[in-house]
Amino acid sequence: MSLKRFVLVAPLFLLLAACASNFQAEVSRFHRLQQPQGQTIKIVPQDEKKVGSLEFATYASMIAPELTKLGYRVVGPNDNAQLIARVDYAVSDGNTVIRSYPDYAGFYDPFYWPGYRWRGFGPAYMQDIHSYIVYPRRLDLQIVRGDVKPSDPDWMVYEGHAMSQGTNNRLQEVMPLLIQALFTNFPGQSGQTNKVTIKLN
């Protein structure tokens, strides 16, 4: 591989390698949760259009073990429960990101023509442009009391959001990582937003 081509592609390879080795998400939390003591909790969608969705049922099955590890007792979505975990998720339309990297291209004679590509006395470079699409992905979790109405100010006891951006818009592949990020140091400090980094294999 020539020096020119190595300099051209190396920054891109390093960027892709760094992105592939880690998953980052911003997690924000607001809560007034008490220490779990075996309370029953069921998982339902925030959006009524997702009731009966097989996709939602798949994500709920990933969230249930996390709630169980915390000390809750997960019950079926049609059962009575002391607490209700209301879940929502989405992937938004992508945004195009443009990056430029120096493409060193031999030498030039500044007295002949600035920037002209030929072997002369001084280094010359151009900009190599790369563009790619980045998709915002999110997971939202609310925990509310099952014994009061939504109009009651004590209804909601937890509200959390995990948000990430990446080139993968297949939410089913990203969801396990969003769930892991959301439940990292759960419930976390109320009113704070933290960056969670997950190392990938």
Out of 10-14, 153-157, 177-181, least confident range: 10-14
102 band by pLDDT with thresholds 50, 70 and 90:
low
The stretch 99-115 carries a mean pLDDT of 54
User: Domains of the chain, with CATH numbers?
Assistant: 3-199 (3.30.160)
Q: What is the pTM of this model?
A: 0.75
* Residues belonging to the chain: 201
Helix (H) or strand (E) holding 91: strand 83-91
Predicted confidence at residue 162, as pLDDT, reads 98
| Cα–Cα distance, 177 to 117 (Å, whole number) | 47
pLDDT digits (tens, 9 = 90+) for 66-97: 999 999 999 999 999 999 999 999 998 877 76
**Coil, strand or helix at 80:** coil
